[in-house]
Structure 1
Amino acid sequence: MTSLEPVIVARLIKEEDLNHHGTLFAGRMAEWFIEACFIAACRTIGRPEEVVCLKLHGLEFTTPASKGDILTFRTFPVRAGRTSLTVFGRVIKNDSPNPMVDGFVTFVKVDTEGRPVPHGIVLPEPRSEEERRIREIAENLR
Protein backbone atom coordinates (compact mmCIF):
# COMPACT_ATOMS: atom_id res chain seq x y z
CA MET A 1 0.00 0.00 0.00
CA THR A 2 1.51 3.33 -1.07
CA SER A 3 0.41 6.34 0.95
CA LEU A 4 1.82 9.83 1.17
CA GLU A 5 -0.51 10.85 3.99
CA PRO A 6 1.08 11.79 7.32
CA VAL A 7 1.39 9.05 9.92
CA ILE A 8 0.20 9.97 13.42
CA VAL A 9 1.46 7.94 16.39
CA ALA A 10 0.88 8.77 20.08
CA ARG A 11 2.91 7.65 23.10
CA LEU A 12 2.35 7.98 26.84
CA ILE A 13 5.54 8.58 28.82
CA LYS A 14 5.83 6.09 31.68
CA GLU A 15 8.30 5.67 34.54
CA GLU A 16 10.48 3.24 32.56
CA ASP A 17 10.94 5.87 29.81
CA LEU A 18 12.68 8.36 32.12
CA ASN A 19 16.36 9.15 32.60
CA HIS A 20 18.21 10.00 35.83
CA HIS A 21 16.83 13.58 35.65
CA GLY A 22 13.22 12.34 35.67
CA THR A 23 12.66 13.44 32.07
CA LEU A 24 12.21 11.42 28.89
CA PHE A 25 15.38 9.50 28.01
CA ALA A 26 16.71 10.74 24.65
CA GLY A 27 17.36 7.16 23.53
CA ARG A 28 13.70 6.29 24.05
CA MET A 29 12.67 9.37 22.05
CA ALA A 30 15.02 8.33 19.25
CA GLU A 31 13.54 4.81 19.25
CA TRP A 32 9.96 6.09 19.07
CA PHE A 33 10.87 8.75 16.51
CA ILE A 34 12.59 6.30 14.15
CA GLU A 35 9.70 3.85 14.53
CA ALA A 36 7.10 6.50 13.61
CA CYS A 37 9.20 7.58 10.61
CA PHE A 38 9.69 3.92 9.62
CA ILE A 39 5.92 3.45 9.48
CA ALA A 40 5.62 6.44 7.11
CA ALA A 41 8.43 5.03 4.95
CA CYS A 42 6.82 1.58 4.80
CA ARG A 43 3.44 3.01 3.87
CA THR A 44 5.13 4.91 1.05
CA ILE A 45 7.73 2.41 -0.22
CA GLY A 46 6.27 -0.99 0.57
CA ARG A 47 6.45 -3.81 3.07
CA PRO A 48 8.60 -3.50 6.23
CA GLU A 49 10.98 -6.22 5.04
CA GLU A 50 11.81 -4.00 2.03
CA VAL A 51 12.80 -0.96 4.12
CA VAL A 52 15.97 -0.33 6.13
CA CYS A 53 17.05 2.73 8.08
CA LEU A 54 20.08 4.45 6.58
CA LYS A 55 20.49 7.55 8.73
CA LEU A 56 19.00 9.51 11.60
CA HIS A 57 19.89 13.07 10.64
CA GLY A 58 19.45 14.37 14.16
CA LEU A 59 16.81 15.27 16.67
CA GLU A 60 16.52 18.77 18.02
CA PHE A 61 14.89 18.86 21.46
CA THR A 62 13.29 22.19 22.38
CA THR A 63 11.66 21.20 25.67
CA PRO A 64 11.82 18.25 28.10
CA ALA A 65 9.01 15.76 28.65
CA SER A 66 8.00 14.01 31.87
CA LYS A 67 6.04 11.03 33.13
CA GLY A 68 2.39 11.33 32.15
CA ASP A 69 3.00 13.53 29.11
CA ILE A 70 1.44 12.39 25.85
CA LEU A 71 3.59 12.77 22.77
CA THR A 72 2.13 12.89 19.26
CA PHE A 73 4.45 12.02 16.38
CA ARG A 74 3.51 13.30 12.91
CA THR A 75 5.69 11.91 10.13
CA PHE A 76 5.61 12.18 6.34
CA PRO A 77 7.96 11.71 3.36
CA VAL A 78 9.76 14.84 2.20
CA ARG A 79 12.45 13.65 -0.21
CA ALA A 80 12.52 10.74 -2.65
CA GLY A 81 15.82 9.62 -4.15
CA ARG A 82 16.18 6.69 -6.53
CA THR A 83 16.34 4.07 -3.75
CA SER A 84 16.03 6.29 -0.66
CA LEU A 85 13.21 8.11 1.06
CA THR A 86 13.68 10.81 3.70
CA VAL A 87 10.91 11.22 6.26
CA PHE A 88 10.35 14.31 8.41
CA GLY A 89 9.03 13.91 11.93
CA ARG A 90 7.61 16.40 14.38
CA VAL A 91 6.73 15.62 18.00
CA ILE A 92 4.14 17.61 19.93
CA LYS A 93 3.80 17.31 23.72
CA ASN A 94 0.32 17.46 25.27
CA ASP A 95 -1.21 19.28 22.28
CA SER A 96 1.19 22.22 22.65
CA PRO A 97 1.27 24.57 19.65
CA ASN A 98 5.09 24.37 19.68
CA PRO A 99 7.02 21.28 18.56
CA MET A 100 9.07 19.42 21.16
CA VAL A 101 11.27 17.67 18.58
CA ASP A 102 11.86 17.93 14.83
CA GLY A 103 14.07 15.63 12.78
CA PHE A 104 14.66 13.59 9.65
CA VAL A 105 15.32 9.90 8.98
CA THR A 106 16.40 8.42 5.65
CA PHE A 107 15.39 4.90 4.63
CA VAL A 108 16.34 2.72 1.66
CA LYS A 109 14.28 0.16 -0.23
CA VAL A 110 16.14 -3.17 -0.45
CA ASP A 111 15.70 -6.54 -2.14
CA THR A 112 15.79 -9.91 -0.38
CA GLU A 113 19.61 -9.80 -0.40
CA GLY A 114 19.64 -6.39 1.31
CA ARG A 115 20.78 -4.52 -1.82
CA PRO A 116 19.25 -1.11 -2.62
CA VAL A 117 16.60 -1.17 -5.35
CA PRO A 118 14.65 1.67 -7.00
CA HIS A 119 11.30 2.43 -5.41
CA GLY A 120 9.73 4.58 -8.15
CA ILE A 121 8.23 7.08 -5.70
CA VAL A 122 7.61 10.61 -6.94
CA LEU A 123 6.43 13.05 -4.30
CA PRO A 124 3.67 15.51 -5.20
CA GLU A 125 4.14 19.25 -4.87
CA PRO A 126 4.32 20.51 -1.26
CA ARG A 127 0.90 21.20 0.29
CA SER A 128 2.02 24.27 2.21
CA GLU A 129 4.81 26.80 2.54
CA GLU A 130 5.99 25.01 5.69
CA GLU A 131 6.22 21.70 3.83
CA ARG A 132 8.17 23.44 1.03
CA ARG A 133 10.63 24.77 3.63
CA ILE A 134 10.98 21.33 5.25
CA ARG A 135 11.69 19.76 1.85
CA GLU A 136 14.40 22.33 1.17
CA ILE A 137 16.07 21.37 4.44
CA ALA A 138 15.79 17.67 3.50
CA GLU A 139 17.45 18.32 0.13
CA ASN A 140 20.51 19.70 1.91
CA LEU A 141 20.91 16.91 4.50
CA ARG A 142 23.16 14.54 2.60
Structure 2
Amino acid sequence: MNYVESSRLIKSEDLNHHGTLFAGRMAEWFVESSFFGAAKIKGEANLVCAQIHDIRYLLPVHSGEIITFASKVIKVGATSMFVYAKVLNMNGDKVLEGIVRFVSVDENENKIPHNITLDEPETDEDKELIKMIK
Protein backbone atom coordinates (compact mmCIF):
# COMPACT_ATOMS: atom_id res chain seq x y z
CA MET A 1 0.00 0.00 0.00
CA ASN A 2 1.14 3.51 -0.75
CA TYR A 3 1.64 6.21 1.83
CA VAL A 4 -0.90 9.00 2.33
CA GLU A 5 0.96 12.29 2.79
CA SER A 6 0.25 15.64 4.41
CA SER A 7 2.50 18.53 5.45
CA ARG A 8 2.73 21.20 8.14
CA LEU A 9 4.63 24.45 8.49
CA ILE A 10 6.11 24.84 11.97
CA LYS A 11 5.19 28.22 13.47
CA SER A 12 6.27 29.93 16.67
CA GLU A 13 3.05 28.93 18.48
CA ASP A 14 3.98 25.26 17.89
CA LEU A 15 7.24 25.51 19.84
CA ASN A 16 8.16 24.51 23.38
CA HIS A 17 10.37 26.44 25.81
CA HIS A 18 13.48 25.03 24.08
CA GLY A 19 12.48 26.57 20.73
CA THR A 20 11.70 23.20 19.12
CA LEU A 21 8.39 21.63 18.10
CA PHE A 22 6.28 20.82 21.18
CA ALA A 23 5.93 17.04 21.51
CA GLY A 24 2.21 17.32 22.29
CA ARG A 25 1.56 19.24 19.06
CA MET A 26 3.56 16.66 17.11
CA ALA A 27 1.59 13.83 18.76
CA GLU A 28 -1.69 15.53 17.79
CA TRP A 29 -0.61 15.87 14.16
CA PHE A 30 0.80 12.34 14.18
CA VAL A 31 -2.55 10.83 15.18
CA GLU A 32 -4.37 13.03 12.67
CA SER A 33 -2.09 11.99 9.82
CA SER A 34 -2.44 8.35 10.87
CA PHE A 35 -6.20 8.79 10.65
CA PHE A 36 -5.77 10.02 7.06
CA GLY A 37 -4.00 6.75 6.20
CA ALA A 38 -6.75 4.67 7.81
CA ALA A 39 -9.62 6.70 6.34
CA LYS A 40 -8.09 6.47 2.87
CA ILE A 41 -8.36 2.67 2.88
CA LYS A 42 -11.64 2.58 4.84
CA GLY A 43 -13.43 5.13 2.68
CA GLU A 44 -15.46 6.54 5.57
CA ALA A 45 -14.71 8.33 8.80
CA ASN A 46 -16.30 5.97 11.35
CA LEU A 47 -12.95 5.24 12.95
CA VAL A 48 -11.69 6.14 16.40
CA CYS A 49 -8.18 6.11 17.79
CA ALA A 50 -7.95 3.22 20.24
CA GLN A 51 -4.25 3.10 21.05
CA ILE A 52 -0.98 4.78 20.26
CA HIS A 53 1.39 1.82 20.25
CA ASP A 54 4.59 3.70 19.82
CA ILE A 55 5.91 7.15 19.03
CA ARG A 56 9.63 7.62 18.62
CA TYR A 57 10.90 11.18 18.48
CA LEU A 58 14.16 11.00 16.57
CA LEU A 59 15.19 14.59 15.71
CA PRO A 60 14.14 18.08 16.81
CA VAL A 61 12.06 20.30 14.51
CA HIS A 62 12.41 24.09 14.42
CA SER A 63 10.27 27.08 13.51
CA GLY A 64 10.03 27.65 9.76
CA GLU A 65 10.56 24.01 8.83
CA ILE A 66 8.04 22.12 6.75
CA ILE A 67 7.50 18.55 7.84
CA THR A 68 5.77 15.81 5.86
CA PHE A 69 3.67 13.09 7.44
CA ALA A 70 3.38 9.77 5.59
CA SER A 71 1.04 7.04 6.83
CA LYS A 72 -0.24 3.68 5.69
CA VAL A 73 -2.24 0.76 7.05
CA ILE A 74 0.10 -2.14 7.72
CA LYS A 75 -2.18 -4.66 9.45
CA VAL A 76 -5.91 -5.19 9.99
CA GLY A 77 -8.00 -7.18 12.42
CA ALA A 78 -11.75 -7.73 12.25
CA THR A 79 -12.55 -4.26 13.63
CA SER A 80 -9.11 -2.66 13.95
CA MET A 81 -6.51 -1.13 11.66
CA PHE A 82 -2.86 -0.58 12.52
CA VAL A 83 -1.34 2.46 10.85
CA TYR A 84 2.36 3.19 10.59
CA ALA A 85 3.26 6.85 10.26
CA LYS A 86 6.54 8.65 9.83
CA VAL A 87 7.47 12.31 9.73
CA LEU A 88 10.22 13.64 7.49
CA ASN A 89 11.95 17.00 7.57
CA MET A 90 12.81 19.03 4.47
CA ASN A 91 16.07 17.07 4.06
CA GLY A 92 14.17 13.76 4.04
CA ASP A 93 15.44 12.81 7.49
CA LYS A 94 13.01 10.86 9.67
CA VAL A 95 12.13 12.96 12.73
CA LEU A 96 9.40 10.71 14.16
CA GLU A 97 7.76 7.35 13.56
CA GLY A 98 5.18 5.19 15.25
CA ILE A 99 2.03 3.08 15.10
CA VAL A 100 -1.60 3.91 15.90
CA ARG A 101 -4.52 1.48 16.17
CA PHE A 102 -7.93 2.64 14.99
CA VAL A 103 -11.22 0.82 15.52
CA SER A 104 -14.25 0.91 13.25
CA VAL A 105 -17.40 1.90 15.15
CA ASP A 106 -21.11 2.37 14.51
CA GLU A 107 -23.24 5.41 15.41
CA ASN A 108 -23.42 4.15 19.03
CA GLU A 109 -19.64 3.80 19.24
CA ASN A 110 -19.79 -0.01 19.28
CA LYS A 111 -17.05 -1.87 17.45
CA ILE A 112 -18.11 -3.13 14.04
CA PRO A 113 -16.32 -5.14 11.36
CA HIS A 114 -14.73 -2.99 8.69
CA ASN A 115 -14.56 -5.79 6.09
CA ILE A 116 -11.10 -4.78 4.91
CA THR A 117 -8.40 -7.24 3.99
CA LEU A 118 -4.79 -6.59 3.15
CA ASP A 119 -2.46 -8.61 1.00
CA GLU A 120 0.39 -10.30 2.83
CA PRO A 121 3.35 -7.91 3.19
CA GLU A 122 5.71 -8.29 0.27
CA THR A 123 8.45 -5.78 0.96
CA ASP A 124 11.07 -6.10 3.67
CA GLU A 125 10.02 -2.64 4.91
CA ASP A 126 6.41 -3.73 5.45
CA LYS A 127 7.51 -6.93 7.21
CA GLU A 128 9.68 -4.88 9.57
CA LEU A 129 6.88 -2.37 10.22
CA ILE A 130 4.52 -5.15 11.29
CA LYS A 131 7.12 -6.30 13.82
CA MET A 132 6.77 -2.89 15.52
CA ILE A 133 3.22 -3.77 16.64
CA LYS A 134 3.31 -4.92 20.25
TM-score past 0.5 threshold: yes
In structure 1, the residue matched to 2:20 is 23
One-letter code of the match for 2:100? V
Q: TM-score, normalised by structure 1?
A: 0.89
Report how far residue 104 of structure 1 moved: 0.5
Q: Could you tell me how far apart the structure 2 residues matched to 1:127 and 1:33 are?
A: 25
Report how far residue 85 of structure 1 moved: 0.2
Secondary structure of 2:96's match? Answer: strand
1:68 corresponds to 2:67: no
In structure 2, the residue matched to 1:57 is 53
Q: TM-score, normalised by structure 2?
A: 0.94
One-letter code of the match for 1:68? G
Report how far residue 58 of structure 1 moved: 2.4
Unaligned runs of 5+ in 1: none
One-letter code of the match for 1:29? M
Report how far residue 27 of structure 1 moved: 0.5
Count of matched residue pairs: 134
Percent identity at matched positions? 40
* Structural RMSD (CA): 1.2
Segments of 4+ in structure 1 off by > 3 A? none
One-letter code of the match for 1:134? L
Unaligned runs of 5+ in 2: none
Q: Could you tell me how far apart the structure 2 residues matched to 1:58 and 1:24 are?
A: 18
Secondary structure of 1:118's match? Answer: coil
